[in-house]
Amino acid sequence: MIYVSDCMGREPWVHQFAAQPSELSQLRRMLKIRLILWGLRDHVDVAQLCLSELVTNVIRHVGEGTPASLRMALSEPYLRLELEDPHTRALPTLLAASSASESGRGMALVDALTNHRWGVFLREGSKVVWCELATSDEPTVLGRTGGPRVVRAEALLDLYEAWQLPPGRAVFGEGSVLSATAVGEAAIGVMADLLDWLHAHGYDPDDVLDQAQTHFEARTDEAV
């Protein structure tokens, strides 16, 4: 039996992007994939909401197109999101915004979702706004050794990574040149590229991802 914590190591994820509305859907999908592989499927919705609010805060108060960096890490027993941007003066403020307010509710929502576990710290030339979500650290089953599905997945990852490896070096098996973390990164790359392909062909990537998760859970239940 292979666990998410064994396959991925749950290494911190860092992603650089331009803070603009068109980036939000892709950021949310990437975060969703990461959390599923980390075995934290139940925390996807809340994490996506927090991410959206943090990014929207940068867009509104710093400026659309601002270069930003997202970092996500699991620090037991919390899932931590950090959003860094180069503006050290536009600090987030918790406002007592009414339900009719069009602005000022972003950090209030983050505050409520994270049970007051959020803050901001300054670096030289940048600021980092962070929030933490409480989560258990129980690993969930990602797959089982052997079987045709696992073999097909490994072959796909092998092909996906082969172009950047020296000739004759294998991705899996004895003498593998890829660490468990690198294999996890390759899996995320495969899924992200497939979601881009689906979007380009008129499919809803979020719906497809949800359906894939449903199929995976059904297969897992059958195997137990």
Quick one: CA dihedral 198, 200, 202, 207, positive or negative? positive
Query: What's the CATH code, domain 2-134?
Result: 3.30.565.10
Confidence at residue 166, expressed as pLDDT on a 0 to 100 scale: 45
How much is the pLDDT for 189? Answer: 74
Q: Shortest CA distance to 79 belongs to which of 45, 121, 122?
A: 45
The pLDDT value recorded for residue 101 is 44
pTM: 0.62
Instruction: Give the per-residue pLDDT at 103.
Output: 46
pLDDT score at 70: 96
Q: How far apart are the first and last CA of the chain?
A: 11
Could you list the pLDDT tens digit for every one of the 224 residues in the chain? 333 344 445 789 999 999 999 999 999 999 998 998 888 888 999 999 999 999 998 998 899 999 999 999 998 789 999 999 998 887 776 544 444 344 456 688 888 888 888 989 899 899 999 999 998 644 443 443 445 556 556 656 655 555 444 444 444 443 344 455 666 777 777 787 778 778 777 888 888 888 888 887 887 777 65
Residue entry with tokens 């990461």 = 34
CA distances from 2 to 53, 96, 117 (A): 34, 46, 32
At 145 the pLDDT is 43
Phi-psi map region of 146: left, alpha, beta (phi>0 left; psi -120 to 50 alpha): left
- Please report the pLDDT score of residue 149 as a whole number: 58
Domain ranges of the chain: 2-134, 144-223
Amino acid at 162: A
- How much is the pLDDT for 1? 34
CA–CA distance, 217 with 8 (Å, rounded to integer): 19
Q: How far is CA 107 from CA 19, 83, 91, 96, 104, in A?
A: 17, 13, 11, 10, 7
Compute CA distances 150 → 111, 132, 157, whole Å: 41, 33, 11
Nearest to 126 by CA among 162, 89, 73, 156: 89
Please give the pLDDT value at position 150: 60
Amino acid found at 11: E
